[in-house]
Amino acid sequence: MATSFFRESLISPRKPPVSRQGLRGWLHENLFSGPVNSLVTLLVGALAIYALVPVIEWALIKAQWVGDSRADCSGDGACWVYIETRLGSLIYGFYPEAQRWRVDIVFVLFVVLGIWLMVPAVPGKKVAALVGLLVFPVVAFFLLSGGFGLEHVPTRRWGGLMLTLVIASVGIVGSLPLGIVLALGRRSSMPLVRGVCVVFIEFWRGVPLITVLFMASVMFPLFVPEDFNIDKLLRALVGIMLFWSAYMAEVVRSGLQAIPSGQGEAGAALGLGYWQRMGLVVLPQALKLVIPGIVNTFIALFKDTTLVLIIGLFDFLALIKAGTSDSSWLGFAIEGFVFAALVYWIFCFGMSRYSQFIERRLYRGH
């Protein structure tokens, strides 16, 4: 007597659920999860193809890559020849051709130092920071400007990407420490220090950068004796540094305010002095919190270096713009500005990615 609790044959396999993995699953989940989403996907896709195809065709397929004169660029596509012939002046500006190796050395040092400082696996961070803050600026200055047997190259001959990087690095390196000091000063219990810092920050935050540059370049020379001539680039650098340090101070202050007062009080209970409390307890936590804000300011600063154009300093964008008025290369402004956008995007995107990496690395889960 056989009991028939058990089936004797297998159930025929059911239709598998819509896959949640693989390309198909991803498509279903993200792009075609319902009729409305499917319609939107199709519309946006069509629009993207409609807009992108001509751009790609212009920038890549029909573009002219080799040649040496305007005559080589008669097609419908982009004329990258224009960029190629100007590349030297876009990078070095008016720097004498025979001396450009000096800029190259500074650039290599800059990259090496950057890797040393920014890649966690490379040891000796404290040495790197000292070299970067004390040795490198001096070496770079003498290499770029001249001295010790090197031919003097005045700053009015600096230009292009090199000038952009000089302004951005000086601005970044100068504004961060100054901003931290101002932020601490603004939260100080000493009325005089606090007052000075508040006035400084509110003054510099209250004027547009263009005004600062314009005053530094146009008005300043009128108010000093005629023989007393401060370099135009230096004037602009100081202006940019002071301006951005005010913004930086507010970013840092927001971090300081996010740290519970118990942290500082605990430090005081352990017998730490003000600078020890700030340097060892409060600032490391506060700065970590405001990395996105700091990098945000850096990116804004980097892009705002282009404003030096209005005081006749020839940074990267200014040379692109001036190149559009070269009478033997008229009519290639679009290529120039697309190239400029690409270069600025690479730098800013790089900074943004690095900041995200540092954030993840310093994340402590509290």
45 or 331, CB closer to another protein? Answer: 331
Q: State in angstroms the smallest separation of the CB of 325 from another protein.
A: 4
Distance CA 163, CA 91 (A): 9
Among candidates 235, 226, 252, 225, which has minimal Cα distance to 312?
235
Residues that bind another protein in the complex, under the rule CB under 8 A: 70, 85-86, 88-89, 92-95, 97, 154, 156, 159, 214, 217-219, 221-223, 226, 229, 232, 309-312, 314, 318-319, 321-331, 333
Instruction: Considering the complex, state which of residue 54 and residue 154 has its C-beta at the smaller distance from another protein.
Output: 154
Residue entry with tokens 């697309």: 338
CA 89 – CA 103 distance, rounded (Å): 13
* Nearest distance in Å: CB 154, another protein: 7
Is the Cβ of residue 337 or residue 347 nearer to another protein in the bound state? 337
Give the list of residues 6+ apart from residue 298 with CB closer than 8 angstroms, or none: 172, 351
The distance of closest approach from Cβ of residue 108 to another protein in the complex, given in angstroms and rounded to an integer, is 22
Nearer to another protein, 38 or 69 (CB): 69
Cβ nearer to another protein, comparing 147 with 154: 154
Report the SS3 class of residue 142.
helix
Residue with Cβ nearer another protein (88 or 177): 88
Structure tokens at 363: 């994340």
CB of 205 within 8 A of CB of 246? yes
Phi, psi torsion values for 119, nearest 5 degrees? -90, 120
CA angle, 265 then 267 then 269, to 5° = 70
Minimum Å distance from CB 169 to another protein?
22
Q: How far apart are CA 337 and CA 155, in angstroms?
A: 25
Q: In the bound complex, what is the minimum distance in angstroms from residue 214's beta carbon to another protein?
A: 7
SS3 sequence of 162-201: HHHHHHHHHHHHHHHHHHHHHHHHHCCCCHHHHHHHHHHH
CB atoms within 10 A of CB 166: 22
Nearest distance from C-beta of residue 329 to another protein, angstroms:
7
- Least distance to another protein, CB of residue 353, Å: 33
Q: Judged by CB, which is closer to another protein: 57, or 359? A: 57
